[in-house]
Structure 1
Amino acid sequence: MELELRHLRAIRAIADTGSLTKAAASLGLAQPALSTQLKRIERALGGPLFVRDRTGARPTPLGELVLDRARVLLPAVRELQEEAVRFANAWAHIQRFRIGGTHGPLLGGLIDRLATAHPSAPVSTYTSWSVQELSTMVVEGRLDYALIGVCGQSPPPVADQLTWQPIGTDPVFVMLVEDHPLAGEVELKLSALASESWTDVPGDGCFGDCFAAACARAGFTPVSVFETDTASCVHLVQVGRAVGLCRATFPPTPGVVIRPLAGAPLSWRHMIGWHPGAPAADTAPAVAGHARAAHADAVRRSEPYATWLRSHARCSAAFGTATVGPAAP
């Protein structure tokens, strides 16, 4: 694992608050997810960064070394990003739509709607598994908008520099080969899949940690998790090699069925972000509206999801397009 800026932010938050619980709350993460992340960071750096006891968390000598570097690097990176935005915005004046997005049908739906509504405006795209990369490109003025997803209630990246608005929230479903013994079930308990291998697309958020925590609550540790591209994930499910994690809006696929998890232990929140000082801010409300419409279309096209929403009236207010509303900058 390579050390990233988000890891330095997590280390600094633990040191500043003196507690993993308080640090997790300030970062918008679940405490087990932050604890798992810290263990990975410590393995990568070669030793413990904090001494943890009843009084809280105190940096070790190695932790002090890392903190000293983090307190120099993090402000320097932020200053660089702000200067890049000012430079990029000095010449960015024509109407255009430079959109970055993670892989999935929502990006295609947004592009289609923008191209229809603004036929003379150039539309370009950039896709990445990394929401941090996409957000940084918006901060630096290389993209106008980032269409991303974040796990559960986790905050989007660089929330102190970009304006983010929610598009919709989906429960995470499971993909099964159509002749799987559990394929006929209406809803699956996560514990019923304890003996399965899993497949999922990569990412740099906390989803992997939250999935591991959900499995632990269900009483098991995943046998294995294959992180690969969407096509390979689908193939592994089709041949019965693994079961896959997917958004509830996952489109119909030959040989594959999708089923909800009981209690919806995992969720995925779609967000769109832009820089408040960039020209893109002027057209941001319209772009966000097109993204919400694209998400609503995806929800309607997924019969398993629509069925789940109808049968879970209490959950409907938290999922689908019902979550759409204003977000604080």
Structure 2
Amino acid sequence: MKFDPRHLEIVAAIVDAGGLTEGAEALGKSQPSVSRTLSMLEARVGSRLFAKNKRPLQPTELCLALAAEGRKVLAANKAASDVVKRYLDGRSGVVRVGGSPIFMDGVISGMIAEFQTGHPDVRIDQSYNYAPELMEKLEAGTLDIAICPMKVDAIPTGFTFKDILPGRNVIACGATHPVANRTSVTLSDIAPYPWIAPPTDSPLYEDLRSVLSSIGMRDFRVSFSGGSLTSIINILERSDALTVLPYSVVFTLRRQKMLSALSIKIGHPERNLGLLTRADAPLGPTVRRFRQYIIREFTTLADTILKHEQNALWRS
């Protein structure tokens, strides 16, 4: 025998509320319609659900059993409603985000951790790539949002780019490097030290070459290349090597006292960090919430950096 789940809900509501009128009010229905449904159900099961001529209503043993099943239906409906509401509010679901490795590890990963603290039902699927590969994934629909540095005036047709942080690099070294705490550093001061080169397909690699050329360092030695941010930091901490990193990455890691930024003025890339999405692909509620969160976090980060700067760099 099949039952209409709504009929079971009505039985549960009447039993729990203590009467037909009260049960109807709890469900937002009229008392006559609830009474008709109850009569139909009694006819279907071939037995009374409430004792005859008893006030207040006295449920039969069968009625109590059906009411128990009705509560399950009510609970399932409420749970389903909660699922839908949390999704529409952007508090559950999946965000597929990709980005440049240095930024993702140095800045974005910490923001993702904070986001998930407040949104424990959101799963983040993160991947690493540079702009060309990220655009391919966005076009293929396998990525929701990309976080990468790009030239703002050179965004390809079909994409939307939200600028979140100006491009800016610094020469970085370990916190205990011989020149780390000097208020003034010259080219001759850094000339003896080796360099760490980012992966060759990274925009930061071209930045390194451009920086060294712009400050007149044509004879330099690369001691390590192609590593992740973690490997770069480990080598910087344990050696006298230097490298070029985004200012935001070095600034974010300042509290861990791993890195220092040298007070040498260098040219900055013509790229800004931003959020890249497909122009024709509407973002789901969870992706929109994550995107808004990242924008707010970078607004705060930019303000914090500005407050810590005295001249060109903060001093620890």
* 1:220 corresponds to 2:229: no
**2:181 matched residue in structure 1:** 184
* 1:102 corresponds to 2:100: yes
Q: Is the 1:139–1:162 contact (alpha carbons within 8 Å) kept by the matching residues of 2? A: no
Local SS of the residue matching 2:164 = strand
Q: Is the 1:131–1:203 contact (alpha carbons within 8 Å) kept by the matching residues of 2? A: no
**1:15 matched residue in structure 2:** none
**1:79 matched residue in structure 2:** none
Q: Is the 2:148–2:274 contact (alpha carbons within 8 Å) kept by the matching residues of 1? A: yes
Q: Is the 2:183–2:263 contact (alpha carbons within 8 Å) kept by the matching residues of 1? A: no
* TM-score, reference length from structure 2: 0.55
* 1:204 corresponds to 2:206: no
Q: How does 1:15-30 map to 2 (within 5 A)?
A: none
**1:127 matched residue in structure 2:** 128
AA in 2 matched with 1:123? I
Question: Once the 2 structures are TM-superposed, how far is the Cα of residue 99 of structure 1 from its aligned partner?
Answer: 0.9
Could you say what the CA RMSD is over the residues aligned between the two structures, in angstroms?
3.5
**2:292 matched residue in structure 1:** 289
Question: Once the 2 structures are TM-superposed, how far is the Cα of residue 133 of structure 1 from its aligned partner?
Answer: 1.4
Question: Once the 2 structures are TM-superposed, how far is the Cα of residue 291 of structure 1 from its aligned partner?
Answer: 1.5
AA in 1 matched with 2:149? G
**2:162 matched residue in structure 1:** 165
Local SS of the residue matching 2:231 = helix
Change (3 A) 1:124 1:257: closer
Identity %: 15
AA in 1 matched with 2:214? R
Higher radius of gyration, 1 or 2: 2
Q: Is the 1:238–1:255 contact (alpha carbons within 8 Å) kept by the matching residues of 2? A: no
Question: Once the 2 structures are TM-superposed, how far is the Cα of residue 193 of structure 1 from its aligned partner?
Answer: 2.3
Q: Deviations over 1:144-172 (max 9, x none)?
A: 1001124xx5766x622311111112521
Change (3 A) 1:298 1:239: same
AA in 1 matched with 2:259? V
Local SS of the residue matching 1:147 = strand
Change (3 A) 1:256 1:115: closer
* TM-score, reference length from structure 1: 0.53
Change (3 A) 1:201 1:298: farther
Aligned-partner Cα distance in 1 for 2:244–2:207: 13
Q: How does 1:1-329 map to 2 (within 5 A)?
A: 96-103=94-101, 104-112=105-113, 114-115=115-116, 120-128=121-129, 130-150=130-150, 153=151, 159-186=156-183, 188-189=185-186, 192-202=189-199, 204-221=201-218, 222-224=220-222, 226-227=224-225, 228-249=227-248, 250=250, 251-252=253-254, 256-267=258-269, 269-280=272-283, 286-298=289-301, 306-307=307-308, 309-312=309-312
Change (3 A) 1:167 1:142: same
Aligned-partner Cα distance in 1 for 2:187–2:296: 31
Q: Is the 1:171–1:264 contact (alpha carbons within 8 Å) kept by the matching residues of 2? A: no
Aligned-partner Cα distance in 2 for 1:190–1:288: 41
Q: Deviations over 1:88-138 (max 9, x none)?
A: xxxxxx96421112232432244345546655554322223x232122101
Aligned-partner Cα distance in 1 for 2:240–2:169: 20
**2:80 matched residue in structure 1:** none
Q: Is the 1:167–1:295 contact (alpha carbons within 8 Å) kept by the matching residues of 2? A: yes
Q: Deviations over 1:246-296 (max 9, x none)?
A: 222320376743124433423462111100111228877654432232224
Change (3 A) 1:256 1:113: closer
